[in-house]
């Protein structure tokens, strides 16, 4: 049984249609638990040799994230390294307050936590996940300015609700990250409607009646969706849209 608050946010999550709305919704949900920053990542290349090896959705302060990118902090980010190199699915604590409990942390990663601490991010949790496409590692990092004791108390009371919401949000996040990572153009609502009805086995003339549009308009939307997905057929477009989490 979901709590009323979680149910409310799940309804809102279902209605989200843009990356900006998704970012704002996750931020609002986490804010009620004194979690001030989050990032969702998709690791495309475990070598992590360039910024193109990873895609992000986050609400990090702009200056903080710009510094992260400008100084190539991706190589100092313990959470990203663990995502890229290990087949893990268990959440783990990160942050300045928990460095002493992290046996495999590197000196440059300690320095990275010092940087985060300087802007108020003391405690954090990484929730590793995986995509259904190519088994790519993805997941969430959440950060708080709470002390070690208060953060652990928070997790003891609310970790189930937090992790459940983020896992249910994963599908929406994956869709947005795949669009970024593969340089795809996001599908419009009408393009998703058309592909969704094709996926349900409806014939074009029935789809047109269902959506109240002419056949020529229907073909236009299907054609633009296929172009965005680099699909030669309607079936391929539907398969790609489903695998990318766009439907």
Higher pLDDT, 181 or 233: 233
Contact 65, 54 (CB under 8 A): no
Distance of CA 182 to CAs 41, 57, 138, 147, Å? 14, 14, 15, 39
What the block records as the tokens of 94 is 């990160």
pLDDT of 36: 92
Residue in the structure block whose two tokens are 């959470």: 79
What does the alpha-carbon distance between residue 29 and residue 8 come to, in Å, rounded to a whole number? 10
Is residue 181 pLDDT above 80, yes or no? no
pLDDT of 32: 93
Tell me the per-residue pLDDT of 119-163, one tens digit each, with 9 for 90 and over.
889 999 999 987 766 677 889 999 999 999 999 999 999 999 999
- Return the exposure string of 23-33: e unless at least 16 CB atoms fall within 10 Å of the residue's CB, then b: bebbeebbeeb
Q: Domains in the chain, start-ordered, CATH in brackets?
A: 4-181 (3.30.450.80), 189-243 (1.10.10.10)
Higher pLDDT, 61 or 132: 61
How sure is the predictor about 18, in pLDDT bands with cuts at 50, 70 and 90?
A: confident
pTM comes to: 0.75
Helices and strands (H and E) in the chain: how many: 10, 5
């Amino acid at each position: 049984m979901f709590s009323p608050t979680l149910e409310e946010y799940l309804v809102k999550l279902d209605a989200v249609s843009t990356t900006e709305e998704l970012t704002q919704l996750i931020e609002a949900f986490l804010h009620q638990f004194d979690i001030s920053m989050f990032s969702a990542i998709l690791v495309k290349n475990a070598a992590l040799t360039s910024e193109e090896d990873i895609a992000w959705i986050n609400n990090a302060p702009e200056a903080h994230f710009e510094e992260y990118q400008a100084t190539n902090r991706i190589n100092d980010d313990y959470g990203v390294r663990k995502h890229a190199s290990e087949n893990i699915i268990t959440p783990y604590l990160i942050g300045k307050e928990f460095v002493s409990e992290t046996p495999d942390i590197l000196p440059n990663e300690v320095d990275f936590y010092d940087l985060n601490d300087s802007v108020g991010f003391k405690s954090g949790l990484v929730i590793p996940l995986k995509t259904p496409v190519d088994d790519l590692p993805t997941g969430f990092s959440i950060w708080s300015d709470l002390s070690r004791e208060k953060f652990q108390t928070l997790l003891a009371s609310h970790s189930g609700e937090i992790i459940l919401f983020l896992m249910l949000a994963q599908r929406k996040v994956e869709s947005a990250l795949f669009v970024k990572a593969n340089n795809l153009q996001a599908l419009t609502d009408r393009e998703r409607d058309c592909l969704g009805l094709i996926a349900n086995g409806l014939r074009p003339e029935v789809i047109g009646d269902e959506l109240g549009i002419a056949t020529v308009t229907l073909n236009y939307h299907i054609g633009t969706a296929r172009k965005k997905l680099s699909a030669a057929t309607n079936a391929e477009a539907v398969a790609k849209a489903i695998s990318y989490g766009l439907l």
